[in-house]
Amino acid sequence: MLSISMDVNKYMADVMEYNNKMIEIRRKIHENPELSYNEFQTAKIIAETLRSFNINVKENVGGTGVIGLLKGTDGKTTIGLRADMDALPVLEENNVEYKSKNNGVMHACGHDAHVAMLLCAAYVLSKHRNELKGNIKFLFQPAEEDGGEGGALPMIEAGALENPHVDHVFGLHILNDFPIGTIALKPGPEMACPDSLKIMIHGKGGHGSDPANTIDPIFVGSQIINAVYGIRSRYIDQKEPVTISICSVHSGTKDNIIPDDLIMGGTVRTFNENIRSKIKKLVNDTVKNISIAYGASAEISFKDNAYPVTYNDPEITEEVVKLLSGINGIKVVDSGLLLGGEDVSRFLNKAPGTYYFLGTKNDAKGLIYSNHSSKFDVDEDYLKFGALSHIDIAMYFANK
């Protein structure tokens, strides 16, 4: 393991100086969540806050993206710190004072906390700008939850990683799979490629009392779901990390009408390109053959712009593990392979770096619900560690 000489805890007092403001920002954003590509108020809060730290700001980058640039003393290296900022179409069920005011939209994945932690880091780093040799770019990205085009690609195409050129990118995500007091990551492949799947079944509607004179798309769809789930268990090596899930089913209007059509949406998560191609073919053949067998027809489509596999540079990750292991109150653990997908992968494909997770699951406080749950919430007492991790990484790599 490499030796890290810097004192990784020296900036905690500065973090605590901003801690209440960090939580206030997180709650304000949580109360006013915005869906992908529509993060207008969130972006405004970010831009105004960065300017208050005397950081150069560029808005509307690749949509609603915001970039803050903090210049170092020599500017030979530029480090990118990334936070996503969009919410999800989820109706919040938490009974908290900062509950979402936007009915049916919720920060159910911690992006509100991501923004707040990175703004806290920006405050501290701006306070110590004279200690920075390299530049720091704060990358506030929209539309991570889109799952297709996302927000990273439009930002990259708009030049987010240039002028100055970003050498390394680092990102942090809240994850309630891990308990408080932990940071999780791994070198190499870390998160999957998330393909989005859409299936349309066309049958022949009719009266619910006379199914023999219909082609029931709901019945056909139920057979398809069972068969598609069987692909993973019977056609894919069990050692391969793969998930196939049907997550939405829409059909029908009344309890005595057999509808004409059914639409299903789902996701396929893989790490291996050959396995990915194989599953796509198997899904396509399975859906069409079952539909034909019951007299229906089907259309199957996969989004062709899924996020790539999230890959952590091994050498850089080794340094990050050593660095963050020195934070008092934090234990660094192996994340293992995670079948979630992440838009940060596109940044990491352009500038080698590391993506890591801050655990905020707290059984004692009832903070036990997983990301994307309507009852998801985070332990705000541990956001300070996320902010400090950003600061330590920026200081170390900008001055390396």
Domain assignment of residue 296, yes or no? yes
Residue 172 covered by a domain: yes
Range of the domain at 287: 193-302
Residues 217 and 173 placed together within one structural domain of the fold:
no
In a domain, 4, yes or no: no
pLDDT at 305: 81
223 within a domain of the structure (yes/no): yes
Contact 5/326 with Cβ under 8 angstroms?
Answer: no
pLDDT tens for the chain, residues 1 to 400: 455 778 999 999 999 999 999 999 999 999 999 999 999 999 999 999 999 999 999 999 999 999 999 999 999 999 999 999 999 999 999 999 999 999 999 999 999 999 999 999 999 999 999 999 999 999 999 999 987 889 999 999 999 999 999 999 999 999 999 999 999 999 999 999 999 999 999 999 999 999 999 999 999 999 999 999 999 999 999 999 999 999 999 999 999 999 999 999 999 999 999 999 999 999 999 999 999 999 999 999 998 788 999 999 999 999 999 999 999 999 999 999 999 999 999 999 999 999 999 999 999 999 999 999 999 999 999 999 999 999 999 999 999 8
Same domain, 200 and 143: no
In a domain, 35, yes or no: yes
The CATH number of the domain holding residue 382 is 3.40.630.10
What is the pTM (predicted TM-score) of this model? 0.92
Residues 320 and 347 in one domain: yes
In this structure, the answer to whether residues 268 and 317 fall within a common structural domain is no
Q: What is the DSSP letter of 64?
A: T
User: Residues 136, 176, 107, 365: is their CA dihedral positive or negative?
Assistant: negative
**What's the DSSP call for residue 95?**
-
Model confidence over 158-200: pLDDT tens digits? 999 999 999 999 999 999 999 999 999 999 999 999 999 999 9
One domain for residues 166 and 278: no
Are 174 and 211 in the same domain?
no
Virtual CA dihedral for 271, 277, 283, 288, nearest 10 degrees?
A: 170
Same-domain pairing of 229 and 341: no
Q: Do residues 18 and 141 both lie within one domain?
A: yes
Active site amino acids: 307, 380
294: CATH = 3.30.70.360
Whether residue 292 is found in the same domain as residue 317: no
Domain count, the chain: 2
Whether 6 is covered by a domain: the verdict is no
Last residue of a domain, one of 302, 325, 341: 302
CA distance 394 to 137: 10
**Per the domain annotation, does 3 fall within a domain?**
no
